[in-house]
Amino acid sequence: MDLFRFFEWLGNTSWSIALHESRYVFLLVLMIHVLTLSVFVGTAAMIDLRLLGKTMTRVPVSQVVTRLLPWSEAGFLVMVVTGTLLFYAAPVARYENVFFRLKMAALLIAVMNVWVFRRTIYRRVGEWDLDPVPPRRVQMVGALSLLLLAIIITAGRMMAYQDYWFG
Amino acid sequence: MQYSAPLVAMRQSPWLFPVIATIHLMGLSLIGGAVLVVDLRLLGLGLRSQPVAGLAHDAERWLFRGLVVAVSTGILLFMCFATKYYYLTFFWVKMAALILVIVFTASVHRRVALANEGDVSPMRCKLVALVSLSLWTIVAVGGRYIGFP
């Protein structure tokens, strides 16, 4: 299947054109997408900082994860929904945007990082749950997550400048 | 001020403004996380089996760091287009809300969050959290509107 052709077709559907041309709806979706950063990345960063032993060191790691992760996931859901709409508004332009591709790659690795963490090291959380500073392997997960979130924010912000720099 | 040499250079550089804007967003995320940990707890959500005071004490440091990042990059962003922003209503709305929320956080919010368990009624805790979250939302939305075409 030719992705480019598919996105070309998608961009010509009436809803996509409507979204693209509706100044206010588009900007509203963009605003929700950007501001939900504070919920999604904000709570994720607090969990990562706990994994690094940099905050809430007297709170068990499992408690930080169980109580804050749902908020991060809720933020992530809003991000994905609004992000999909922003993509849908201009599929070909997004697909051809180098920063968009970088962002999607970083996002994929970030999700995998959490997925692997929950299925491996986190299974034995009982062994280091109360450690103010968790074991090195756990810290690596937190550090990698923060790095990937920073890349996602950066690439996302830079998407607007592709034409300006490489056009 | 915006015609001074370093700022003219900053405006002309195609990379600098977006890079600073990106760091500004990272500051926003950090503030969001630190604020949510405490305010969700005050609302009886999030880490609700932990004492508020402990969380507030821990989050305070990261809130301060996030603010330092966001305010310093914010000043740079403002200086790039000082005269444009000066005439934007949303810029002043954001500044007013920002000053209000900082004063509120350092006074009422801090006193409630660091109080002994049970000294403050749950209703008051919730009210304080809602005021804090509303003011931060105004700051963020105002900031987003400043950048709109």
* Joined tokens for residue B81: 């287009």
Residue B77: CB atoms within 10 Å: 20
CB contact under 8 A, B35 and A42: yes
Q: How many CB pairs under 8 A join A and B?
A: 99
Q: What is the mean pLDDT of residues A95-100?
A: 95
Spatial distance between the Cα atoms of A40 and A72, rounded to a whole number of angstroms: 5
Residue burial A20-46, b: 16+ Cβ < 10 Å; e: rest: beeeeebeebbbbbbbbbbbbbbbbbb
Q: What is the mean pLDDT of residues B120-132?
A: 94
Q: How far is CA A48 from CA A68, A77, A143, B59, in A?
A: 11, 19, 7, 13
| pLDDT value at residue B6 | 77
| pLDDT value at residue A135 | 96
Which residue is closest to A72 within chain B, CA to CA?
Answer: B33
Band of residue A83 on the pLDDT scale cut at 50, 70, 90: very high
Is the model's pLDDT at B139 over the cut of 80?
yes
Which residues in chain A are closer than 8 Å to B50, comparing Cβ atoms? 56, 59, 63
Q: What is the mean pLDDT of residues A107-113?
A: 97
Which residues in chain B are closer than 8 Å to A59, comparing Cβ atoms? 47, 50, 54-55
Q: What is the ipTM of this complex?
A: 0.92
Q: What is the pLDDT of residues B75-102, one digit of tens each?
A: 999 988 888 888 888 999 999 999 999 9
Distance from CA of A3 to the nearest CA of B (A): 30
Spatial distance between the Cα atoms of A76 and A106, rounded to a whole number of angstroms: 14
Which residues in chain A are closer than 8 Å to B55, comparing Cβ atoms? 56, 59
Q: What is the pLDDT of residues A29-47, one digit of tens each?
A: 999 999 999 999 999 999 9
Cβ pair B38, B56 in contact under 8 A: yes
Spatial distance between the Cα atoms of A128 and A111, rounded to a whole number of angstroms: 23
pLDDT above 70: percentage of residues in chain A? 99
Q: In 3-state terms, chain B is what percent helix, strand and coil (to 5)?
A: 80, 0, 20
CB contact under 8 A, B59 and A27: no
| pLDDT value at residue A118 | 95
Q: What is the pLDDT of residues B23-52, one digit of tens each?
A: 999 999 999 999 999 999 999 999 999 999
pTM of the model: 0.93
Which residues in chain A are closer than 8 Å to B148, comparing Cβ atoms? 27
Spatial distance between the Cα atoms of A51 and A45, rounded to a whole number of angstroms: 10
Q: Which of B12, B47, B69, B73 to mutate to test the interface with A (most CBs of A within 10 A)?
A: B47
Q: What is the mean pLDDT of residues A122-150?
A: 97
Q: What is the mean pLDDT of residues A106-134?
A: 96
- Chain centroid offset of residue B46 CA: 20
Which residues in chain B are closer than 8 Å to A150, comparing Cβ atoms? 26
Is the model's pLDDT at B13 over the cut of 90?
no
Spatial distance between the Cα atoms of A155 and A107, rounded to a whole number of angstroms: 10
- What average pLDDT does the structure give for chain B? 92
> Could you tell me which residues come within 8 angstroms of residue B106 by beta carbon, excluding any fewer than 6 positions away?
none
Distance from CA of B54 to the nearest CA of A (A): 8
pLDDT above 90: percentage of residues in chain A? 90
Q: How far is CA A36 from CA A71, A131, A153, in A?
A: 11, 31, 12
